[in-house]
Amino acid sequence: MFDLVLKNAQLPFKGNPTNIGIKDGKIHSISSSNLMGNEEMDLEGNVLLPPFVEMHTHLDTVLTAGEPWFNQSGTLGEAIDIWSVRKQSLAKEDVKNRAFKALKMLMEYGVLYVRAAVDISDSDLTALHAIMELREELKSFLSLQIIAFPQNGIISCPENQERLEKAILLGADAVSAVPHLENTREEGIQSLEFAFSLAKKYEKEIHIFCDEVDDEHSRFLEVVASLTMQEKMEGKVTASHANAMLYYSDAYANKVMSLVKKAQVTIVCCPLVNTTMQGRADAHPKGRGITRLKELAEQGVNVCIAHDDIQTPFYPFGNGNILQAAHMALHLAHMTGREELKHIVNMITVNGAQAYSIKDKYGIEVGKEANFACFSVKDVYEIFFKQPKCRYLFRKGALVVETVPERTSWK
């Protein structure tokens, strides 16, 4: 007898609906045969996915759009200026309350794993303490990883070197750098070397915000890949954005993509914020605002799609629905074929799990944790145009989120 049986679950890319037996928080059976449980739920042939993995968001800036003013230019520079003012008034409870709201929003759309950047550019590390407390308080509901993020740079803001190390000692999961925001290319490389040295010292992962500019001369991704191999950190490094790659010559872009694959660096594409922010200074034709998503996937690079900001100075929109980001990405990357859409599904599920270092316990397989996101669609591809809230979200066999679908009546 199982603790819970999910009946008539439509697994992605599979044939007929199946039944799943769950015991002690793990999957014990996946079968077309009838299974008996202390509790049984009929999923009515709706799609059951492993929960989504949000590999890049910001929980300290979340829900602050318009505070103290709206980003009128839409540029990264003005966003940083706004946040520099807003963060002077940060209070721990303010950060926790906004972050909690955002995490609930993400969970409503099927996210159970979140990697969040937290700016450590203040001496009190107010936001970091707040998000770390929240991580502990919510650990039975979702998994939260924290990136120690030096928004003001590492070399151009030397104080952040000590703050980064302090953040790691306090319990941050990953070290970051923003090399394209340093004063010179040389300082950008130094910032990466510092981040790698710190991560290696404390055996932490690395998550770089890389080349988020419309500039073919911003070439830090090759440095990230090279350092990854030099330090033997293959599989432990992630780079977000990589927008400058869109402006590289094909010959150079292919070289960089080959290095990235060899180094096993994960690339995270953030199509919502980057299509809004990038290309503003371009003459026509304007850049599309995302990295070479399709080409990276074709080369075998582990690529993820993330929602990123939710109503911040950097991106004034968003409700935590990672499917909106996936929908935007598949348009911009011209990945609308059925086989290509499988890759898009993977970019918000299994690829994220690989980068999140949970691949051994992630997925709908016997022996793995009973974590699922059920959507009220019969075909997995419908999630891209319906972009629904999650009907049921399970963590270790327990239901943590339930959404009653909307119904429209015609009179």
* Spatial CB neighbours of 358, under 8 Å, sequence gap ≥ 6: 113, 143
**Number of other CB atoms surrounding residue 75 within 10 Å:** 15
Residue 52 sits at the vertex; the CA angle it makes with 48 and 54, to the nearest 5 degrees, is 175
The DSSP line for 219-248 is --HHHHHHHHHHTT-TTSEEEEE-GGGGGS
Answer yes or no: are the C-beta atoms of 222 and 259 closer than 8 Å: yes
- Of 233, 232, 291, 234, the residue nearest 267 (C-alpha): 291
State the Cα torsion 240-243-246-249 to the nearest 10°: -80
- How many whole angstroms separate alpha carbon 255 and alpha carbon 249? 10
- How many whole angstroms separate alpha carbon 178 and alpha carbon 299? 25
Alpha helices by DSSP H, 246-349: 250-263, 271-277, 293-298, 322-332, 338-347
CA 405 to mean position of chain CA atoms: 26
Catalytic site residue from 212, 216, 234, 295: 212
Q: CA dist 181 to 112, 128, 245, 272, Å?
A: 31, 21, 16, 21
Give catalytic status of residue 212 as yes or no: yes
Active site residues: 212
